[in-house]
Amino acid sequence: MEIRVSSGTTSYLGLNDSKCMEYPSTAYLLLPGAPCRGGCIYCPQSSTHGRWLSRVSWPSFDIDDMIDPIKESDLKRICIQSPDVEGYDDRTLEVVSALETTGKPISVSAPPLSKEVLQKLQDGPVDYVGIGIDAVTNELRAKTKRNYSPIVFWEYLGDAIEVYGLNHVTAHMIVGMGENLEQLAHAVYRASKSGARVSLFSYVSKGNEPDLSYYRKAQLLTHLIEEGRNPNDAISFMANGKKYIEEHFENGEPFRTRGCPGCNRPYYTTRPGKEHRNYPRQPTWEEMQKIMKDLG
């Protein structure tokens, strides 16, 4: 059975000679089968030669050749992503059962799955599900995620929380698609109140990406809301809470990759050598100075 593996994961497992400055702490796998039927305008998987997903290339392997390297590694998790292709639900079940022998906890990030399939996955080694909310407003989602109704992923999020419970579902949100911080805050609050964690991705398409200062504010706002504040409190806190932020976030927690435990996604939305958008580890003191400067 063919499976695609992120170049960082293959490098970490020694399946090629390339070296990385930052290594994943999760094995990122992708079901083959582009083009994806989703038609998301920012995603290379919606075109025939979908070699890339975000900024990452995904060479193909036989899944049997992946089991021992992952099993023997100290990777904390496996993340299986699926494009919207024929039979993606059955194939996701097949891949999960093939990887069960690795003994690693598994996250699945796939287009809408039925509650029956979600339950079957949970009966196996899947303990987290990632949901592609992507654009944070229905209007932007309708324009950018063209082949789905703009509300279907919020409904899917609700189904997944019913099956997996609180804080075991991550809502993937893309920052920089034309929304403002208030719209982002309301989407984060909605997901958090529903019992999901929020996982941020910096928009990247054809060289376009949001301003770093805006992205840092989006990260901080998300963290403040996940700490239990409502959108207005979080926004005003960001404006007035400089001292609190400096004292409480010197470890850089708000600026690290958010999502399932063990997910760090190095270089997913950052070119190697450039300043990380989502830090795959604790930022250094120097990096924190730059972050604070960008927050203004």
Interface contacts to ligand SF4, rule CB under 6 A: 26, 79, 107, 109, 128, 130, 170, 172, 199, 259-260, 263, 265
CA atoms within 13 A on the CB side of 61: 23
Task: Name the residue type at position 270.
Answer: T
For residue 70, give Cα distances in angstroms to 26, 87, 127, 130.
10, 26, 18, 21
Which CB sits closer to ligand SF4, 44 or 245?
Answer: 44
Q: How many other CB atoms are there within 10 angstroms of residue 140's CB atom?
A: 17
Q: Could you tell me whether strands 169-175 and 126-134 are parallel, antiparallel, or unpaired per DSSP bridges?
A: parallel
Q: Using alpha carbons only, how large is the chain's radius of gyration in Å?
A: 18
State the nearest-atom distance from the C-beta of 243 to ligand SF4, in Å.
Answer: 31
Q: Which of 78, 22, 47 is nearest to 269 (CA)?
A: 22
State the nearest-atom distance from the C-beta of 170 to ligand SF4, in Å.
Answer: 4
Which CB sits closer to ligand SF4, 42 or 237?
Answer: 42
For residue 16, give Cα distances in angstroms to 12, 20, 94, 188.
9, 11, 26, 38
Which CB sits closer to ligand SF4, 235 or 266?
Answer: 266
State the nearest-atom distance from the C-beta of 228 to ligand SF4, in Å.
Answer: 21
Which CB sits closer to ligand SF4, 222 or 288?
Answer: 222
| Biggest distance spanned by C-alpha atoms of the chain | 54
State the nearest-atom distance from the C-beta of 30 to ligand SF4, in Å.
Answer: 11
Which CB sits closer to ligand SF4, 128 or 267?
Answer: 128
State the nearest-atom distance from the C-beta of 236 to ligand SF4, in Å.
Answer: 29
